[in-house]
Amino acid sequence: MSAHSIPRYTVEEHLEMDGASEIPLEYHDGQIFPLFPIAEATFAHSVLLSLWGPLSGRDRTVLASTLRVKAGKTYVYSDISVICGKPIFADKQETALNPLLIVEILSKSTEASDRGAKFSYYRSLETLKEYALVVQTEPRIELYTRDSDGVWTFRVFFGMDAVCHFSSLNCSIPLAGVYGVVPLAGPGSEAP
């Protein structure tokens, strides 16, 4: 058996390739990965992505998945990131450095990474106070919150009557408002 070497890239090579690619490319420890197959973007994912307007507000900027986030030496795309105050960028306003909240909408191909490696990268961001995982098949938001001592706590908001509170933004979002138009099949998905 012969071993195949895995190509390694510099950050600069990644940024050049990402800028020329039609599919977003993430950078992890010298390796480049396509974000996800565009064909996998579901109706539910698209709707869930579009319903985060309540996070906007005075001194807050909600950024879509087309903007990279730099966490340590890793460049990744989050579904939604929220910056309070003035955005700080690593480059020409294409890579954010100071998100306060990051939201990932789980899919079959990204769930393991969103729960594992990406969350690990995101935790290296000193500005990050909350990390939310949004389930597509049932009304459920899983929220990790970092306290002033750096300890992460976990809460689950489940069902159409639940209200998810983001303490970092002093903002609450009813799950019925997020999931109201998404076709759901899982438990707790009964429309109000």
pLDDT for the residue numbered 180: 81
Longest dimension (CA), the chain: 60
Cα–Cα distances (Å) from 121 to 80, 177, 186, in that order, read: 16, 30, 30
| Domain range list for the chain | 40-179
Q: What pLDDT was estimated at residue 1?
A: 45
Place of tokens 């939201």: 103
What is the pLDDT, as a whole number, of residue 3? Answer: 58
Buried b (16+ CB within 10 A) or exposed e, 6-19: eeeeeeeebbeebe
Cα-to-chain-centroid distance, residue 91: 20
**Phi/psi-derived region of residue 169, left when phi > 0, alpha when psi is between -120 and 50, beta in every other case:** alpha
Q: What is the DSSP string of 65-98?
A: TTSEEEETTEEEE-SEEEEESS--BSSSSSEES-
List the beta bridge partners of residue 146.
152
CB 163 within 8 A of CB 157: yes
How many other CB atoms are found less than 10 A from the CB of residue 164? Answer: 22
- The C-alpha atoms of residue 11 and residue 95 are separated, in whole angstroms, by 12
* Regions of the chain with pLDDT less than 70: 1-4, 36-43, 45-47, 49-51, 53-54, 185-192
- pLDDT of amino acid 183: 72
Spatial distance between the Cα atoms of 98 and 111, rounded to a whole number of angstroms: 23
40-179: which CATH topology? Answer: tt1808, chain A (3.90.1570)
The reported pLDDT for the residue numbered 60 is 83
Q: Kindly give, in sequence order, each residue whose CB lies less than 8 Å from that of residue 90, ignoring residues fewer than 6 positions away.
A: 70, 96, 97
Q: What is the pLDDT of residue 46?
A: 67
Q: Which pLDDT score, from 0 to 100, does residue 39 have?
A: 42
